[in-house]
Each structure stands twice: as C-alpha cells, then as structure tokens.
C-alpha cells in the first residue's frame, strides 16, 4: 500500500462505515493514495530545488540560466557557494572584503589586494602555482566583479630555487621524475 493510501484508510477506519480491504473502496483509496504520493514526491523535489543550499540539479541550472557568469566548478558545494556569491554581487560589493568574499564564493581561488597605487589591485591565486586551469573563465568572472575603472594585475607564483633545493638533494632526483619545465615550476608541494 502507498503511504497516503494507508493514511486515508486510517482516517476512515474509525467511522466503521466503509469496507477498506479487498473492495472497490480500498482500490479507490489505493489509487488516490498513489496520486497523492506522486504529488508529495514532486513537492519534496520542488522544496529541495528551490533553495540554493539544498538544490542539486534543476534548481541550480535555473539559477545559472539567470546569470551572465557561471561558476567555474563542478563540485556541488562549491557550485552552490558560487551561485550564492554571484547573486550577492551588487552596487555595494566593491569593498575589498566584499570583492574577496565574492571571488571565494564564485569558486574562484583568488585573492584581491590593494597595491598602494590608486585604481590598481593585484589578484593572486594563493593555492595554485602557475596559471590556474580555467584561467580565462576565472578572469571573466573576476573582471565582472571588480569595478571597470580598476586596473587588475594578475600575480602568479612558481617554485623558487630555495624551494627546489629544500625538496631535492640533487639534479638527479629531479631528472628521475622526468618533469617538463612547466611541471617542475609547479612542484611546490
């Protein structure tokens, strides 16, 4: 029996007027209960998908369709946070703290900082050595968040000679890994 079919039986049983098992009345209650179960399941899905915090599919896609920029991550939690951040961007989102909050929320692993030069900020990618994957998409998001009159300098970091000396005893250790120069530059961990 369906969940609502049993619920309807429980409502009618105290009346002792209806034959509820193995009759047309019972069959009708099962049919109505199945329909109500379907409605309940649909409402549960709508309730889940209408909030960014719980949405998993259609809800997130619907919000993304409203926005000019899309999150740069496929991770569900980061995607939710990115959409929430993109929805927060407004006319008062131009303090340094608000900009960094929006960058973080958009799933962009970047930090903006003032340079001391009026009208110029630097954007760093602290946990990613070199140019991060998906940089062009990140750049479009960053440039849509920061005010248009602000010049943006992108700062990248790579393995330093000191880091290389601390990690490898000899050049032979490095050569044994057969890295390209680009791979070597990014071996910071």
pLDDT one-digit tens code per residue, 4-54: 888 888 888 887 777 778 778 777 888 888 889 889 888 988 898 888 888
* Surface-to-core class of residue 172, CB atoms within 10 Å of its CB (0-12 exposed, 13-18 middle, 19+ buried): exposed
pLDDT value at residue 105: 65
pLDDT for position 104: 73
Q: What percent of the chain lies above the pLDDT cut of 90? A: 3
Contact (CB, 8 A) for 123 and 141: no
> The pTM is what?
0.52
Q: What integer is the mean pLDDT of 84-110? A: 72
């Amino acid at each position: 029996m369906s969940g609502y079919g049993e619920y309807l039986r429980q409502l009618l049983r105290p009346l002792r007027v209806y034959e509820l098992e193995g009759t047309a009345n019972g069959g009708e209650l099962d049919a109505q209960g199945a329909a109500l179960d379907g409605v309940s399941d649909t409402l549960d899905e709508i309730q889940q998908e209408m909030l960014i915090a719980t949405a998993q599919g259609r809800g997130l896609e619907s919000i993304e369709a409203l926005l000019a920029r899309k999150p740069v991550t496929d991770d569900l939690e980061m995607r939710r946070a990115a959409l929430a951040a993109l929805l927060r961007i407004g006319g008062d989102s131009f303090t340094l703290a608000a900009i960094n909050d929006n960058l973080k929320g958009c799933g962009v692993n970047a930090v903006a900082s003032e340079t001391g030069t009026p009208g110029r900020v630097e954007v760093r990618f602290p946990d990613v050595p070199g140019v991060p994957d998906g940089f062009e998409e990140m750049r479009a998001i960053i440039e849509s968040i920061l005010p248009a009159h602000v010049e943006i300098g992108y700062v990248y970091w790579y393995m330093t000679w000191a880091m290389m000396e601390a990690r490898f005893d000899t050049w032979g250790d490095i050569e044994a890994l057969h890295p390209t120069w680009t791979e070597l530059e990014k071996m910071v961990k």
